């Protein structure tokens, strides 16, 4: 498999080179040169496999000859050793033998990995794939990752104590939840290869710092920089795996009933993964996109005009992104045809007040506790269901454990939200963090000090 720059199809690279380079030489995003489409009979065969083994098969179409099928199977079985249940608000799980017990509205809970967020799926595959490549090369890399909350924790955990890699996590100072900050600043206890930097600015400032570092050829070469944000194709591709496999499980239970996923969205990497899964033959009819007040993509779906802008802080902070990185990838998938994007994607945006009301209502009526991001996705799904006159299977992507936003969720619901063991452990550790201005020279000096 080769990858091309979204700006220039004549610029290409293997998966290994695209993964380590992060961006194409022209600053473009890497896109797969082709996407294999599985037939219905092939999909039926894959649906009978475990998720890890299905993911390994899908991954085989996106990597290069540095990976054998056995390598991919080992990587995926090691990475995906946790569940991803499809649950109703009443606690029923999808069962193909008795779907009538569950109804047709589910949460796809993607927060049962080690850092309790959906980012674990991409980060753990990427971390193991990068380590596999670098063991063969004997190389050393510096990973720069900007996070609005969950990405940094997932990447830090995935690369913790990996030989030949130092990770620098940039997050907006005061712009993530208390639990997220505690998790980000305690990975490795300050003695390992993972370093947290609180940037005095927004997530967009953090993301721009990462882009500026890669654009600085001297700095990029000196530190052998590698990005783990969703600009890296190694983050986006694995996010297609869970859409593909779960949609096959749903189809087995519900036959020809249309399947719609609702995704709370910021940088659009999760949506891009879903669209790639659909291109591979996943039986997904449409995607619903839920934005908070940072809604350039929802506005694009309504008007055909894309207007990025500075982000504003909201309750669902991981989606506080005014310039989503993966928008060009979505355009590339649909050959820049707005009408084709609009046929597949439907969007709605909601205020913090909307989010709080919805979280309270669902909890009062059912007892189900969701994080603010999941609530935005669930509201978008409800709005879509009211907008169409069809019966379909509703899948709201639950992106993070509500305890990661403990203070906000407890305030809104007026109930205790206990910390799972992994978060409780982080809460008891001392934070190790550098505070920095959003300036490239400041970042360069910090990296030099940490590596010396």
* Weakest mean pLDDT among 59-68, 80-89, 228-237, 279-288: 228-237
CA distance linking residue 88 with residue 108, whole number of Å = 9
Mean pLDDT of the chain, nearest integer: 93
Whole-number Å distance between alpha carbons of 230 and 268 = 9
Least confident interval from 144-148, 257-261, 279-283, 380-384: 144-148
d(CA 78, CA 125): 9
**Same structural domain for residues 150 and 86?**
no
Query: Residues 269-286: what's their mean pLDDT?
Result: 98
| Domain match, 397 and 305 both | yes
Domains identified in the chain, total number: 3
β strands within 129-193, DSSP E: 141-146, 165-172
Backbone angles phi, psi at 38, to 5 degrees: -85, 140
Specify whether 449 is located in the same domain as 345: no
Q: Are residues 425 and 285 in the same domain?
A: no
- Region 193-208: mean pLDDT is 92
> Tokens at residue 437, please?
């201005």
Measuring CA to CA, which residue among 75, 3, 31, 83 is closest to residue 245? 83
Across residues 348-363, what is the average pLDDT? 98
Q: How many Cβ atoms from other residues are within 10 Å of residue 288's Cβ?
A: 29
| Residue 49 in domain | no
Question: What was the pLDDT predicted at 293?
Answer: 97
Are the CB atoms for 378 and 396 separated by under 8 Å?
yes
Pair 329, 368 in one domain: yes
Average pLDDT of the residues in 55-60: 98
Q: Are residues 264 and 285 in the same domain?
A: yes
Are 225 and 322 members of one domain?
A: no
For 253, the domain range is 82-112+237-413
Cβ neighbors of 327 (< 8 A, separation 6 or more) are 268, 296, 297, 300, 306
Whether 108 and 129 map to the same domain: the answer is no
CA atoms within 13 A on the CB side of 360: 11
Under the banding of pLDDT at 50, 70 and 90, the label for residue 215 is confident
Q: Is residue 43 included in any domain, yes or no?
A: no
- Nearest to 425, CA basis, from 153, 84, 127, 162: 153
Residues 380, 407 within the same domain = yes
Pick from 4-18, 42-56, 132-146, 316-330: least confident: 132-146
Surface-to-core class of residue 200, CB atoms within 10 Å of its CB (0-12 exposed, 13-18 middle, 19+ buried): middle
| Cβ-Cβ contacts under 8 Å for 112 (sequence gap 6 or more) | 82, 83, 84, 85
Judgement on whether residues 268 and 383 belong to the same structural domain of the protein: yes
Q: Calculate mean pLDDT across residues 101-119.
A: 91
Q: Is residue 42 one of the residues assigned to a domain? A: no
What CATH number does residue 104 fall under?
A: 3.40.50.1100
pLDDT above 90 (res 134):
no
Residues 130 and 173 in one domain: yes
Whether residue 68 lies inside any domain: the answer is: no
Answer yes or no: is pLDDT of 408 > 90.
yes
Q: Are residues 383 and 263 in the same domain?
A: yes
Residues 198 and 2: their CA atoms lie apart, in Å, by: 36
Structural domain includes residue 132 = yes
* Phi, then psi, of 302 in degrees rounded to 5: -85, -35
Would residue 432 count as lying in a domain? yes
Does 215 fall in a domain? yes
CB atoms within 10 A of CB 46: 20
Residue 403 DSSP class? G
The Cα angle at residue 95 between residues 92 and 99, in degrees rounded to 5: 85
Provide the token pair at 170. 């940039």
Residue 105 DSSP symbol: E
- Sheet bearing 105-109, strands edge to edge: 86-87, 105-109, 393-398, 259-264, 286-291, 345-349
The pLDDT of residue 37: 98
Q: Is residue 51 part of a domain?
A: no
Residues sharing a CB contact under 8 Å with residue 49, sequence separation 6 or more, in sequence order:
57
């Amino acid at each position: 498999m080769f990858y091309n720059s979204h700006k220039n199809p004549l610029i290409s690279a293997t998966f290994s080179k695209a993964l380590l380079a992060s961006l194409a030489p022209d600053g473009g995003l890497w896109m797969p040169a082709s996407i294999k489409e599985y037939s219905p009979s092939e999909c039926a065969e894959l649906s009978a496999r475990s998720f890890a083994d299905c993911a390994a098969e899908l991954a085989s179409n996106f990597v290069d000859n540095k990976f054998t099928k056995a390598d991919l199977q080992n990587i995926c079985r090691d990475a995906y050793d946790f569940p991803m249940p499809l649950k109703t608000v009443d606690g029923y799980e999808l069962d193909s033998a008795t779907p009538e017990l569950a109804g047709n509205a589910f949460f796809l809970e993607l927060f049962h990995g080690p850092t309790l967020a959906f980012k674990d799926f991409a980060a753990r595959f990427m971390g193991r794939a990068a380590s596999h490549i670098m063991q063969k090369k004997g190389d050393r890399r510096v990973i720069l990752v900007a996070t609005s909350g969950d990405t940094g924790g997932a990447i830090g955990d995935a690369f913790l104590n990996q030989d030949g890699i130092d990770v620098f996590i940039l997050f907006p100072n005061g712009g993530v939840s208390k639990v997220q900050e505690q998790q980000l600043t305690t990975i490795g206890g300050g003695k390992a290869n993972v370093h947290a930097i609180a940037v005095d600015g927004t997530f967009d400032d953090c993301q721009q710092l990462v882009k500026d570092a890669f654009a600085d050829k001297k700095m990029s070469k000196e530190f052998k920089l590698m990005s783990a944000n969703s600009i890296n194709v190694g983050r986006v591709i694995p996010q297609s795996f869970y859409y593909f496999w779960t949609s096959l499980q749903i189809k087995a239970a519900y036959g020809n009933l249309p399947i719609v996923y609702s995704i709370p969205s910021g940088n659009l990497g999760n949506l891009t993964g879903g669209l790639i899964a659909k291109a591979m033959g996943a039986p997904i009819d449409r995607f619903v996109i839920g934005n908070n007040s940072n809604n350039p993509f929802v506005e694009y779906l309504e008007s055909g005009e894309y207007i990025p802008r500075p982000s504003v802080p909201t309750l669902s902070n991981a989606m506080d992104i005014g310039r989503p990185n993966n928008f060009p990838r979505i355009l590339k998938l649909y050959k820049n045809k707005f009408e084709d994007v609009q046929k597949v994607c439907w969007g709605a945006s909601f205020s913090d007040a909307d989010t709080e009301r919805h979280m309270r209502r669902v909890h009062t009526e059912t007892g189900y506790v969701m994080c603010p991001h999941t609530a935005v996705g669930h509201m978008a799904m409800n709005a879509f269901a009211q907008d169409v006159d069809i019966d379909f299977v509703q899948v709201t992507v639950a992106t993070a454990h509500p305890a990661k936003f403990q203070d906000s969720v407890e305030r809104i619901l007026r109930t205790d939200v206990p910390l799972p063991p992994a978060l409780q452990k982080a809460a008891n550790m001392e934070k190790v963090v550098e505070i920095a201005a959003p300036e490239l020279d400041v970042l360069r000096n910090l990296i030099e000090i940490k590596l010396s």
